């Protein structure tokens, strides 16, 4: 029988460094017991404390005329006029989804919804940003199937539409997939609920599902690298129940409407520990809990297990004096477990009682607002030089090149995936993954307004230049909102990186944040919420840096909304914006030439705003109805999307076999492709606004083609393009590709 481990040894196992453990000793003036050590370890984990990123996150602009609540609460809150507010946030469930894809993804959806409705909002839309490994990797197909089933299984049952997202594949995610989930909700601006306990002497009420042993040390697991034994961490993955979540939503909103709530917090990462610490810490009070009163699903649970469990569908509320019975009445109505498990105090301490003993008595400050913060050493990431377009060869086969780009795993239709999501429940969805638009759009029920939502990141850009890639993530989200006619308001972010203790990874984090912050400032696009997910690596191999941006825009009148599926025979395709020939880090380079080098396209933020404002003005004036921003795949990618969504052929004007690939495949930013019947008027207005605009093709026939009469560069029947575009994913899932 081995000797029991010392507290110092346990601290190392729980993710605390020797220096951090010494700080615990200094703060307590003694050695912690196992419960106290567990509490410190989860609250000081990267997942909860943001100890490696917090000093850099302060660079983000977080205020604006429409910002009601910025970072620091469960979700961000923005003003959308008429007394209405939009509440939204994005979070990761990367590590759990890699270990157990169905439950990992499902509980990611459940967790992000709780962040939104705990602020008083009814969830109205879900999005996801998914990154998987190489399609030929042995685990990828199983992970895709499990994650997609988990997202659909949870979101569909709760009854919230999944309206938008993105899915990419790259070998860099072989050892760590990314599952980023975003939720958008609606509330009245004067009925927002916060987590800070307002004072001592108030009842602390637990309600929702019972506490079990699932998810213990989930926050710690999410703050550590993987190795070949990662499957052994399966017990740290939570188990979700979407039907319990639906009951929890309704009970929570009814409790709020009753006026009984003084403060409220969902139990997410670190469970009862983080929720109690954050409520007390934000309110500047203490909290004392009776662990015997916690509703328990399993027998013989220790205080350690109850405090660190991440069992799902649970909430913690501080009720106003004398309102406990109102709470119990509501909880009984919705069939939820509930109990008063403690009170707020004036001690500034976290005190836990279990079986007649005090099992934890620690000051709150070190847990809440005095956790270790690091200015980690970093080095400037290695930057790729710009590739001169003259040095990039044309394809050997034009048809093959077009099909390789348009139908590659990143660009191919994800119909197999999004058909598993209920996109229309609640009956307010106007644009979703099926409709051919750059952003999802939902109506603000009972009004003329709409919300546009999108999720964006181009990891290959960030890999080759984190600063420019960071700018581009924000700019593309802003463009996608603009392209449907909305006015971009604010973003949430999910910063996915490797181990921040490696200076080269920390350099990626710092420079990506620098670029994102600059773009947010230039585009009046503040950050109101977000999440940082670090240590996404296995056996020392980090994921490509992936700072995902989720964004929200407002449509004052949802009848004035655009997509790219309304192009008709005879219309002219006009490209707004200039093409210099940025082929570095492009899909053309990767899918046709087998290269991943080169500087990504630079982002001129002033030009981005000028171009986007022009396009939006034309949409609001009723002059544009078919609009698509240019991103992956350049003009070929955008034109193919429009042709397939509109079921109308396209004849592009590129004719030169030697140079056409620059116009067709370059991924220059600040560009939009539109279909109009009067191109000359639009071009004149663009030129008057100081913008470049030119005719690049015509909507006609049943082919996707480019060239001159009798001298096509390529001519691909639209039906064949569609077969290839929509067939890749189901064929791959079924093992036929």
Active site residues: 47, 93
Burial class (CB in 10 A: 0-12, 13-18, 19+), 356: exposed
Cβ–Cβ under 8 Å, residues 360 and 37: no
| Largest Cα–Cα separation, the chain | 90
Torsions phi, psi for 572 (to 5 deg): -100, 140
Q: Which long-range contacts (CB under 8 A, 24 or more apart) does 62-68 make?
A: 62/526, 62/527, 62/528, 63/526, 64/489, 64/490, 64/524, 64/526, 66/489, 66/490, 67/490, 67/526, 67/528, 68/189, 68/192
d(C-alpha 115, C-alpha 410), whole Å: 30
Structure tokens at 84: 């209405």
3-class secondary structure, 542: strand
How many CB atoms are closer than 10 A to CB 250?
16
**Pairwise CA distance, residues 513 & 309, whole Å:** 32
DSSP result, 195-262: ----SSS-EEEEEESPB-STTTTHHHHTTS-B-TTGGGGGGGS----HHHHHHHHHHHHHHHHTT-EE
Two tokens at 61?
Answer: 């602009």
Q: Are 307 and 250 in contact (CB under 8 A)?
A: no
Nearest to 632 by CA among 406, 453, 478: 406
Can you state the angle between helices 34-43 and 18-28, rounded to 10 degrees? 120
Give, to the nearest 10 degrees, the angle between helix 34-43 and helix 271-283.
70
- C-alpha–C-alpha distance, residues 709 and 715, integer Å: 11
């Amino acid at each position: 029988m081995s000797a029991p481990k010392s507290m110092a040894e346990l601290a190392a196992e729980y993710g605390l460094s020797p220096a951090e453990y010494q700080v615990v000793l200094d703060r307590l003036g003694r050695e912690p017991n196992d419960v106290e050590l567990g509490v410190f370890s989860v609250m000081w984990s990267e997942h909860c404390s943001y100890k490696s990123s917090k000093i850099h996150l302060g660079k983000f602009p977080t205020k604006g005329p429409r910002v009601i609540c910025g970072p620091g609460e469960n979700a961000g809150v923005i003003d959308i006029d008429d007394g209405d507010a939009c509440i939204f946030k994005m979070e990761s469930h990367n590590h759990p989804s890699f270990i157990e894809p169905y439950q990992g993804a499902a509980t990611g959806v459940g967790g992000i919804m709780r962040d939104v409705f705990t602020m008083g909002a009814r969830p109205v839309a879900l999005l996801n940003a998914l990154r998987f490994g190489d399609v030929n990797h042995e685990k990828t197909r199983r992970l895709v199937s499990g994650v997609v089933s988990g997202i659909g299984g949870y979101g569909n049952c709760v009854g919230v539409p999944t309206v938008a997202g993105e899915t990419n594949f790259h070998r860099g995610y072989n050892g760590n997939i990314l599952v980023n989930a975003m939720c958008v909700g609606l509330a009245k601006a004067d009925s927002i609920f916060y987590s800070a306990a307002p004072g001592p002497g108030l009842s602390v009420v637990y309600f929702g599902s019972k506490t079990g042993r699932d998810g213990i040390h989930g926050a710690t697991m999410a703050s550590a690298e993987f190795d070949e034994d990662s499957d052994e961490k399966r017990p740290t993955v939570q188990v979700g129940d979407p039907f319990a979540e639906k009951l929890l939503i309704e009970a929570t909103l009814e409790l709020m409407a009753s006026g009984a709530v003084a403060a409220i917090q969902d139990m997410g990462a670190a469970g009862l520990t983080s929720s109690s610490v954050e409520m007390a810490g934000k309110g500047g009070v203490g909290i004392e809990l009776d662990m015997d009163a916690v509703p328990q699903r399993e027998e013989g649970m220790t205080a350690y297990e109850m405090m660190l469990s991440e069992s799902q569908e649970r909430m913690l509320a501080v009720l106003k004096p004398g309102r406990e019975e109102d709470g119990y009445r509501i909880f009984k109505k919705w069939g939820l477990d509930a109990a008063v498990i403690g009170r707020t105090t004036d001690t500034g301490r976290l005190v836990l009682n279990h079986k007649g003993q005090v099992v934890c008595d620690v000051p709150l400050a070190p847990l809440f607002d005095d956790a270790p913060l690091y200015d980690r050493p970093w080095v400037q990431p290695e930057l790729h030089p710009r590739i001169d377009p003259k040095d990039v060869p044309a394809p050997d086969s034009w048809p093959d090149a077009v099909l390789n780009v348009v139908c590659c795993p990143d660009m191919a239709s994800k119909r197999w995936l999004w058909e598993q999501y209920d996109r229309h429940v609640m009956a307010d969805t106007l644009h979703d993954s099926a409709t051919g638009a750059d952003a999802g759009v939902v109506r603000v029920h009972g009004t003329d307004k709409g919300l546009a939502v999108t999720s964006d990141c181009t990891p290959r850009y960030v890999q080759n230049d984190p600063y420019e890639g960071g700018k581009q993530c924000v700019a593309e989200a802003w463009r996608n909102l603009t392209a449907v006619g909305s006015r971009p308001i604010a973003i949430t972010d999910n910063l996915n990186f490797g181990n921040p203790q490696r200076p080269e990874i920390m350099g990626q984090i710092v420079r990506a944040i620098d670029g994102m912050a600059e773009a947010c400032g230039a585009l009046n696009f503040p950050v109101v919420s977000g999440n940082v997910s670090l240590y996404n690596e296995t056996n020392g191999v980090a994921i490509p840096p992936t700072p995902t941006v989720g964004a929200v825009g407002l449509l004052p009148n949802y009848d004035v909304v655009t997509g790219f599926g309304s192009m008709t025979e005879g219309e002219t395709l006009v490209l707004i914006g200039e093409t210099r020939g940025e082929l570095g880090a492009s899909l053309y380079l990767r899918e046709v030439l087998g290269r991943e080098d080169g500087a990504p396209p630079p982002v001129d933020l002033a030009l981005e705003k000028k171009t986007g404002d022009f396009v939006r003005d034309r949409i609001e004036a009723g002059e544009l109805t078919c609009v698509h921003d240019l991103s992956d795949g350049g003009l070929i990618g955008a034109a193919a999307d429009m042709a397939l969504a509109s079921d109308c052929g396209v004849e592009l004007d590129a004719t030169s076999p030697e140079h056409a690939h620059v116009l067709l495949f370059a991924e220059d930013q600040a560009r939009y492709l539109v279909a109009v019947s009067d191109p000359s008027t639009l071009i004149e207005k663009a030129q008057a606004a100081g913008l470049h605009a030119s005719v690049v093709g015509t909507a006609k026939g049943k082919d996707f083609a480019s060239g001159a009469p009798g001298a096509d560069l390529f001519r691909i029947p639209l039906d064949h393009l569609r077969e290839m575009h929509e067939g890749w994913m189901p064929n791959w899932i079924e093992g036929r590709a």
